[in-house]
Amino acid sequence: AAQAGPADSGITVEQFKQDYRNKVERMYGDGLERVSDLDKYNALVSLVRDYLAEPWLNTKEKYRRTGAKQVYYFSIEFLLGRLLGSNLYNLGLNEVCQQALSELGLDLRTLRQVEEDPGLGNGGLGRLAACYLDSMASLGLPGHGMGMRYRYGLFEQRIVDGYQREYADDWLMDGFYWDVRKPAEAVEVRFGGNVRIKSNGKTQYIHEGYETVLAVPYDVPVVGYRNGMVNTLRLWSAEARLSEVVCAPQGGSDCQKAVEYSQTVEELSNILYPDDSTYEGKALRLKQQYFLVSAGLQSIIRNYRENNGHLREFPHKIAIHINDTHPVLCIPELLRILLDEEQLTWEEAWNITVQTMSYTNHTILPEALETWPEDLFRTVLPRLYLIVRDINEYYCRSLWEAYPGDWDRISRMAIISYNRIHMAHLAIVGCHSVNGVAELHTDILKNKIMKEFCDFSPAKFNNKTNGVTQRRWVSLCNPALAQLITDTIGPRWVEHPQELAQLERHSADTAFQHHLLKVKLQNKVALAKYVKEKHGITLDVNSIFDSQVKRIHAYKRQTLNVLHIMALYNRLKENPLLDIEPHTFIFGGKAAVNYHIAKNTIKLINSLADLVNNDKSIRDKIKVVFLENYNVSLAELIIPATDVSEQIPTASYEASGTGNMKFMMNGAVTIGTLDGANIEIKQAVGEDNIIVFGLTAEEVLAYYRGGGYNPWEVYQDNERLRQVVDQLINGFFPAAGDLFRGHFDSLLHQGDHFFVLKDFASYEAAHQVLDERYKDRPVWLKMCSANIAHSGRFSSDRTFAEYATDIWHIRPDTLPFSA
Ligand code: 26Q
């Protein structure tokens, strides 16, 4: 049963109504009937914040009292999604609020939609961080987030004439009422200048001539599920204190200059991943990373000192986790503090640092492995540069001891080589734990990408298969399914998702299947309504909803999906009486601003949609829609309405995937390659309940070793494939001209690096199996149920319990999954 918490502290509907009315009146000096929806929403947030103030305070107090070890999850991205629904739900106030509002003539759903979706992340990595926050608080673990409060989140995508257009995501325009600004806890972060070495017995490093930026924290409460716990996500914002700037050398006494200066300072936390194709862009990104790290560590240490003794005990009280290499400067920064400010010896400081830090790798894509030019690094962070050099020297010495004379190996493994600083190497060396995010991905790290590091320190390497929070990704986004599950097996699954396995017993049950079908239909109707309103396209809710929603990337192979739809369309054109299940193919996703091929893929999908949706002769047997501006809120609408989940990357490229897990939990059937977590999904549901196709990672890697494969052979041998590939450039898309020549060339003339043609036949066959299964509705519904029933393993509660026990060594009173 739920523990005592605010949920059970007796807020009645009557009380809520009264509190809410009062809140509106106090905030706006006007009556509920006279204020706008935005005002109503803001008042509701403010009220919820009042309700969570006490548990927040109590949680902090409890941590201070017990001296429990605290985990800080550093991430340059947190893709939170809207918070009103999840906070009400976790506080146990959802029903009360809904009822109270309805009695006041208001609709909670409408007010929830007023909230801007805080998009402070790109995709998987940022959303994972947000799921982990929910799990940490819900498991009652003392774990907090450290991130950036970007003034503008990931761009807003609009589709104009089939093309992606990027608009600023002005998410703070109407205010963000969830966070609390803490100016008294601001810290200073230093950039540039130079380091003077002073030697009087002991060497001292004096950093001079630097520029100071003020880092101001904003704390966002992270509410645990009905357990009275509220952790903290601390987001940092860069500010200039103008009053000081005017007297500072940079500003002179010129007011204009001071304003300009404040703008350059504030640029630091302006946008997520500014364009880094220029030197200035790169420098800014490095500065952002240091800004987060330095501010975060200073505040952790300040807090540590208030409650603890000597920093020698630090690793017993604090664990710092770095989400990919972006916050890896935590390592040299903690060393700097321990050496320069605490006067510890190198050995002491190094041991404390390694014991404190742990690192997750999220990708093996070479272009995503960060390296910095040495001179850029030295200019922006002169003191840290010297420290990184010392780490490199210390480490290379130990390599020399293990591999005397093996210069080649040492230069491959060095942190600094050929005038670049390798951030992943720094992370591996400076952390006691390095993990991948799915079994296959960890295997590839251990045996390929990081093999030499793993040989040198095998004990560091481990796997933590990703997970997602079932509270947002089932309870909140699919309340009808949540209700059906609870009616069938009781409510415990929300906290113990492995109990979903009990559904297996009901999966062939006619009444259960009937309900499941009804729930899916209802969700499809809701999505169809949105698509109609937003895009003017009518969807057939009795068709198969087949979705591929994720960032647009060559390795994710949206193109494979497109070619298959083209082939299906061709077949229908040849034979209008062809008996196929009606399909709705749904796409969504953003392409990086400078990623031209990916942007063209969006145009390709939209061109196909125009063609197919307007062709009367195929009698609506297929529809294609590209949903604009895919984000967390849109995912919450698409995923519950989906029948078929497209997870089709080139094997070995998708480290894990997490969308695959969300679809599974909502009863969609996966069509996928044996990559990332798909492999573990297959193990969990059994091979009858997933449709697998394509090359395995082994096969893909073997082809690469042999210099690739010959796409021409595949093209020549498969007529249907040849037809669709040709259609990319032969006028099939009437207005396209040479627009898709790049796609054509990459498939045929540039070796088809991602094996699109190679996997085509097998993908088409897999789709046919899928359609067969769908025709037999009881068989299909049994598959859907099996997917829900076996999704418990992919809860971030399970993942997080594993991190807590294996990596951070924190032992909460109760961990699920008997860790
Ligand atoms: C690196 C250097 C320079 C500029 C940008 C970057 C950069 C930015 C974002 C590198 C990586 C990312 C994001 C990676 C990411 O989202 N990876 C995904 O992480 C998910 C959570 O573990 C996995 O499920 C996905 O498989 C993985 O692609």
CA-CA distances (angstroms) from residue 717 to 700, 720, 730, 757? 20, 9, 20, 11
pLDDT value, residue 258: 77
CA-CA distances (angstroms) from residue 478 to 288, 475, 667, 758? 37, 6, 11, 37
pLDDT above 50 for 817 = no
Residue 600 CB–ligand 1 contact under 6 Å: no
With 0-12 / 13-18 / 19 or more C-beta atoms within 10 angstroms meaning exposed / middle / buried, residue 537 is middle
Ligand 1 centroid distance, CA of 188 (Å): 29
Predicted ipTM of the assembly = 0.97
Candidate from 77, 122, 125, 127 with most ligand 1 atoms within 8 A of CB, to mutate: 125
Residue 437 CB–ligand 1 contact under 6 Å: yes
Residue 658 CB–ligand 1 contact under 6 Å: yes
Ligand 1 centroid distance, CA of 722 (Å): 34
Q: What is the pTM of this model?
A: 0.96
Candidate from 271, 362, 469, 662 with most ligand 1 atoms within 8 A of CB, to mutate: 362
pLDDT value, residue 240: 87
pLDDT value, residue 500: 98
Q: Nearest C-alpha to atom 19 of ligand 1 is from which residue? A: 125
Which range has the worst mean pLDDT, 163-172, 362-371, 447-456?
A: 362-371
pLDDT value, residue 243: 65
Q: What is the rounded distance in angstroms from the CA atom of residue 13 to the CA atom of residue 16? A: 5
With 0-12 / 13-18 / 19 or more C-beta atoms within 10 angstroms meaning exposed / middle / buried, residue 430 is buried
Q: What is the pLDDT of residues 469-507, one digit of tens each?
A: 999 999 999 999 999 999 999 999 999 999 999 999 999
Candidate from 150, 324, 653 with most ligand 1 atoms within 8 A of CB, to mutate: 324
Bridge partners, 12 (sequence order): none
pLDDT above 60 for 798 = yes
Ligand 1 centroid distance, CA of 635 (Å): 18
Ligand 1 centroid distance, CA of 125 (Å): 5
- Which domains are assigned to the chain? 1-66+83-116 (no CATH), 67-82+117-166+179-466+802-818 (3.40.50.2000), 470-794 (3.40.50.2000)
pLDDT value, residue 25: 97
Residues sharing a CB contact under 8 Å with residue 109, sequence separation 6 or more, in sequence order? none
With 0-12 / 13-18 / 19 or more C-beta atoms within 10 angstroms meaning exposed / middle / buried, residue 792 is buried
Which range has the worst mean pLDDT, 90-104, 273-287, 539-553?
A: 273-287
Residue 94 CB–ligand 1 contact under 6 Å: no
Which range has the worst mean pLDDT, 252-256, 310-314, 413-417?
A: 252-256
pLDDT value, residue 715: 98
Residue 670 CB–ligand 1 contact under 6 Å: no
With 0-12 / 13-18 / 19 or more C-beta atoms within 10 angstroms meaning exposed / middle / buried, residue 91 is buried
* Spatial contact of 420 and 396, defined as CB atoms under 8 Å apart: no
What is the arithmetic mean of pLDDT over 613-640? 96
pLDDT above 60 for 383 = yes
* Spatial contact of 92 and 760, defined as CB atoms under 8 Å apart: no
Residue 649 CB–ligand 1 contact under 6 Å: no
What is the arithmetic mean of pLDDT over 545-557? 97
Q: What percent of the chain has a predicted confidence (pLDDT) above 90?
A: 89
Structure tokens at 631: 């984000």
Bridge partners, 145 (sequence order): 73, 233
Q: Using pLDDT thresholds of 50, 70 and 90, give the confidence band for residue 6.
A: very low
Ligand 1 centroid distance, CA of 496 (Å): 29
pLDDT value, residue 22: 97
Q: Which helix (H) or strand (E) holds 671?
A: strand 669-672
Which range has the worst mean pLDDT, 83-97, 263-277, 422-436, 591-605?
A: 263-277
pLDDT above 70 for 74 = yes
SS3 at position 420: strand
Ligand 1 centroid distance, CA of 802 (Å): 22
pLDDT above 80 for 274 = no
Q: Using pLDDT thresholds of 50, 70 and 90, give the confidence band for residue 249.
A: low
pLDDT above 70 for 244 = no
What is the arithmetic mean of pLDDT over 801-810? 96
Residue 370 CB–ligand 1 contact under 6 Å: yes
Highest mean pLDDT of the ranges 193-202, 395-404, 802-811: 395-404
Q: Active-site residue numbers?
A: 362, 550-551, 556, 658, 662
Residue 128 CB–ligand 1 contact under 6 Å: yes
- Maximum pairwise Cα distance, the chain: 91
The DSSP result for 178-226, as a single string, is S-EE-GGG-EEEEES-EEEEEEESEEEEEEES-EEEEEEEEEEEEE-SS
Structure tokens at 439: 């079994």
* Spatial contact of 608 and 570, defined as CB atoms under 8 Å apart: no
pLDDT value, residue 245: 56
pLDDT value, residue 76: 97
pLDDT above 70 for 251 = no
Residue 593 CB–ligand 1 contact under 6 Å: no
pLDDT above 50 for 7 = no
pLDDT value, residue 262: 82
What is the arithmetic mean of pLDDT over 766-789? 97
Ligand 1 centroid distance, CA of 74 (Å): 14
Give Cα 1 to chain centroid, integer Å: 31
What is the arithmetic mean of pLDDT over 616-620? 91
Structure tokens at 583: 């399909």
Better-predicted residue by pLDDT, 628 or 263: 628
Q: What is the rounded distance in angstroms from the CA atom of residue 63 to the CA atom of residue 657? A: 34
Candidate from 79, 282, 363 with most ligand 1 atoms within 8 A of CB, to mutate: 363
Residue 435 CB–ligand 1 contact under 6 Å: no
Q: What is the pLDDT of residues 695-728, one digit of tens each?
A: 999 999 999 999 999 999 999 999 999 999 999 9
pLDDT value, residue 250: 55
Better-predicted residue by pLDDT, 619 or 689: 689
